[in-house]
Amino acid sequence: MPTWGDGLLVAGGAPVTVPRDPARDAARDELLDAEYHKHDPSVLERVMSWLNDHITGALDGISGTGTSGTTGLVLFLVVAVLIGAALWWRLGAPRRAARTVLDVYGDEGPRRAAQYRADAERHAAAGQWAEAVRARMRALVRGLEERTLLDARPGRTADEAAAEAGRALPRHAAALAAAARTFDDIAYGERTADQAAYQLLSDLDRALERARPDLDTAPEGAA
């Protein structure tokens, strides 16, 4: 059977010689015809196939030994980090589901706001800022309960107290939310307690002692 470069037979059986380079070019042009490639995978399909092969290889490498196992683990961790970063960018930072309970009520019943304020000042004088912040936040919430701006209720979190008090004292709603956030950040160790954090709560506590409730939103009997 004749091939490109070896010659072709024309009508009558006479051989026709075709140079090798033009024959190669003609064959390449023929193979570039779209008809030959209509069933080829798309670019996206090829990319997904490449990713699948590499992820599968990484997972297989984890079960291996020596260098291959280590390499597979590293690749798997890289892929996991990339996926996590993509989800973080798409959905945003996850919010904490839990918040710290204020623990205003002890085994012996609720203490007075004045007692919590005295504890806070004592801790502040000793430079124990985390304890001072916690005591001052409890004093703030207990003071609002004593004025019936908040219902007396154990198990309340700082966020819940701030949101409820903000409805009764809308002018202080933003400051209350900031105080609750500071309390939570310090309680969770995300922020180091310092004098500035304590001063924020102390100033707000004093301001709330003088604040008058919004009569349209305050609980009945609020003073």
In contact, 165 and 101? CB cutoff 8 Å: no
pTM above the 0.75 mark?
no
| pLDDT tens per residue across all 223 residues of the chain | 444 444 445 445 555 555 666 666 666 665 555 555 556 666 656 766 776 676 666 556 555 544 455 665 666 677 677 766 655 554 444 444 445 677 766 666 678 999 999 999 999 999 999 999 999 999 999 999 999 999 988 888 899 999 999 999 999 999 999 999 999 999 887 789 999 999 999 999 999 998 988 755 545 555 5
Tokens of 133: 């912040």
Question: What is the residue-wise DSSP string for 1-31?
Answer: ---TTT-EE-TTS-EE---HHHHHHHHHHHH
Contacts of 49 (CB under 8 A, 6+ apart): 41
For residue 105, list its beta bridge partners.
Answer: 110
